[in-house]
């Protein structure tokens, strides 16, 4: 138990470094690559927002368009959103083909998807 009587719930599988099988649509990245992407994402501002409607088709389209022009983006999950940021990030990772959830911090999720023809970010 944590202070205040709130238990901390840990997620299983890949979030904890387990060996959960990857979906074919998601991109597998190593811890070293994840750390590199985190450092690149540090200075970025959120380019998409998930509001009280949750992840709608228009939200998904705007995130996909952003990933077509940039390989690394931040998505902010507003307080009014029905999803927790980790759940929203996991759903985005599954619904956007070839993407990877780099990290969630606060109410922000960082997504990475390499450009299919001209990747700009070189992973270690």
Using one digit for the tens of pLDDT, what is the confidence trace for 35-62?
999 999 999 999 999 999 999 999 999 9
Model confidence pLDDT, tens digit, residues 12-29: 344 444 434 445 566 889
Please report, for the chain, the start and end positions of each structural domain, with discontinuous segments joined by +. Answer: 25-112
Q: Convert the chain into a string of H (helix), E (strand) and C (coil).
A: CCHHHCCCCCCCHHHHCCCCCCCCCECCCCHHHHHHHHHHHCCCCEEEEEECCECCHHHHHHHHHHHHHCCEEEEEECCCCCCCHHHHHHHHHHHCCCEEEEEEECCEEEEECCCCCCCCCCCC
CA distance 93 to 70: 16
pTM, two decimals, is 0.78
- The architecture CATH gives domain 25-112: 2-Layer Sandwich (3.30)
């Amino acid at each position: 138990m944590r202070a205040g009587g709130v238990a901390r719930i840990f997620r299983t599988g890949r979030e904890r470094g387990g060996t959960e099988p990857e979906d074919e649509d998601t991109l597998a990245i190593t811890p070293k690559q994840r750390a590199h992407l985190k450092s690149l994402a540090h200075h970025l501002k959120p380019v998409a927002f998930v509001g009280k409607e949750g992840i709608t088709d228009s939200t998904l389209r705007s995130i996909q368009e952003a990933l077509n022009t940039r390989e690394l983006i931040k998505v902010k999950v507003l307080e009014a959103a029905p999803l927790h940021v980790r759940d929203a990030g996991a759903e985005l990772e599954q619904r956007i083909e070839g993407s990877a959830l780099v990290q969630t911090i606060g109410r922000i999720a960082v997504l990475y998807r390499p450009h299919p023809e001209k990747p700009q970010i070189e992973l270690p």
